Structure 1
Amino acid sequence: MASLEHKPAWTRNFVRLKTSVVLAIGLFAAALVGIAISKFSFSGLPALSAGTFFPTARPIADFNLKFENGAEFTRKDLTGHWTALFAGYTHCPDVCPTALAQLKAAKAKLGADAEKLTILFLSVDPERDTPDRLADYVHYFDPSFRAATGSEQQINAFAANLFIVHMKAPNESSGGYEVGHSAELILIDPKGRHAGFLRSPFVPETLAADLKAVLMSRVP
């Protein structure tokens, strides 16, 4: 696999998505999350500084994707530990590398508790994000980070189940495309359920404190 150590692909300059596309994604994602929260009654889960626990965790439908090492990734791989999932793509010019760098910094502040957490990067660009490319990308930030991909149909179904919004937009400068996507950190509990989310932009200190609260919470 090609190394990203000297010249990471994500450091290339890209034209940002049009404001209207980004705004549409943000509003749609907020609406979906609002609908999800409105269906639940509040309980005694710990408060998060920059996020929300769903009072009742949501089941995740069965899926079949691939990890960055080519191994099968299914719902059973989400059980037995907390998972913090961020959706993005390796050609992302700013949001994704920034988020992964902040996750690395926050993870370092968790100490031994970091072993209880899996950080997973879900690609929303299966056309370009091969398993090998994803492995190089996430391991550049932290060797323990995982990544997942699959067919466009598989990713769309899994992302929709987690209220992750994404859409392609043309890059007029390069003649290619970029992918606009929601930027929340999805929280998945040890029973493999969608338990809540943390809002971006992330601050390592706040992110670490919230993740520690997540790891210490009791799973009903």
Structure 2
Amino acid sequence: MYRRIARREGAAGWVAALMVAAAVTVWLAGCSAAPAHEFAGAALEDPQPVPDFTLTAAGGPVSLSDFRDQYVFLYFGYTYCPDFCPTTLAKLRQIRSELGDDAGRMQVIMISVDPERDTPDLLARYTAAFDASFVGLTGAPDEIDAVGDTYGLFYQKHEGSAATGYLVDHSTRTYLIGPDGRALVAYPHDATADAILADLRWLLDQES
């Protein structure tokens, strides 16, 4: 048995298009021919707001809009993930630890693609093992699907494929959302911590 959530066309199609864009694109300053910064992921030339959402954390409901004024790294994963999820969260932990005084400007959110097993408390323990500031969210499958549609989320459950009962194949991109709620960059799994950190520092520098 499996569960597959694929991108559906609609008002949020521009974000799905971002997900399938080239791995590295150039952020353009207005209509200037000279690039202001080359990002380590697929960047939008004209960033657009992403829809707000509310899901469940260990402490209760949490919304994306709760983190306005921060740079949010949004990732879809699950606590039983043997590879992509722990390596991604470890990379984000490294980035936050190297931000120094600006660490508070960065927020990591992991949304579960395995709501059957990932309770709010389990997600809280899992994300806290990487960094106490990281937030794990879950919800009913239709709630997760509604959020995932914006980002072209794909996930597929494999029954009986692991000692834990099953594994979940899923999208591995990490999405950077700006302090104003606009989507900025979609990072592939192989984007390095140093490259993403350079992007974030550049964005922070633009604020001054």
Q: TM-score, normalized by length of structure 2? A: 0.78
Partner Cα distance (1:70, 1:101) in 2? 23
Partner of 2:54: 64
Paired residues, what number? 185
2:89 is aligned with 1:100: yes
**Tell me, what secondary structure is at the counterpart of 2:45?**
strand
Q: State the Cα RMSD in Å.
A: 2.6
Aligned residue type for 1:120:
I
Q: How does 1:189-208 map to 2 (within 5 A)?
A: 189-208=178-197
**Tell me, what secondary structure is at the counterpart of 1:57?**
coil
Question: Where do 5+ consecutive residues of structure 2 fail to align?
Answer: 1-5, 7-14, 30-34
2:35 is aligned with 1:55: no
Q: How does 1:120-199 map to 2 (within 5 A)?
A: 120-174=109-163, 176-199=165-188
2:88 is aligned with 1:88: no
Cα distance change of structure 1 residues 65 and 46 upon mapping to structure 2, 3 Å threshold: farther
Once the two structures are TM-superposed, the CA of residue 36 in structure 1 deviates from its matched residue by: 7.6
Once the two structures are TM-superposed, the CA of residue 152 in structure 1 deviates from its matched residue by: 0.6
Cα distance change of structure 1 residues 129 and 58 upon mapping to structure 2, 3 Å threshold: same
Deviations, residues 189-217 of structure 1 (Å, cap 9, x unaligned): 11222222122224222232122223334
Deviations, residues 157-186 of structure 1 (Å, cap 9, x unaligned): 101112222221233344832111111110
Question: Where do 5+ consecutive residues of structure 1 fail to align?
Answer: 1-24, 26-30
**Tell me, what secondary structure is at the counterpart of 1:102?**
helix
Q: Is the 8 Å Cα contact of residues 48 and 213 (structure 1) preserved in structure 2?
A: no
Deviations, residues 76-131 of structure 1 (Å, cap 9, x unaligned): 21422110111100000111111111111122121112111111111111111111
**Tell me, what secondary structure is at the counterpart of 2:62?**
strand
**Tell me, what secondary structure is at the counterpart of 1:80?**
coil
118-127 vs 45-54, which deviates more? 45-54
Cα distance change of structure 1 residues 116 and 35 upon mapping to structure 2, 3 Å threshold: closer
**Tell me, what secondary structure is at the counterpart of 1:76?**
helix
**Tell me, what secondary structure is at the counterpart of 1:127?**
coil
Partner Cα distance (1:32, 1:76) in 2? 21
Aligned residue type for 1:33:
A
Indicate the structure with greater helix content. 1
How much identity, in percent, do the aligned residues show? Answer: 33
Q: TM-score, normalized by length of structure 1? A: 0.74
**Tell me, what secondary structure is at the counterpart of 1:155?**
helix
Aligned residue type for 1:66:
T
Partner Cα distance (2:36, 2:138) in 1? 32
Cα distance change of structure 1 residues 173 and 139 upon mapping to structure 2, 3 Å threshold: closer
Cα distance change of structure 1 residues 139 and 175 upon mapping to structure 2, 3 Å threshold: closer
Partner of 2:11: none
Q: Is the 8 Å Cα contact of residues 60 and 75 (structure 1) preserved in structure 2?
A: no
Cα distance change of structure 1 residues 43 and 194 upon mapping to structure 2, 3 Å threshold: same
Partner Cα distance (1:104, 1:62) in 2? 24
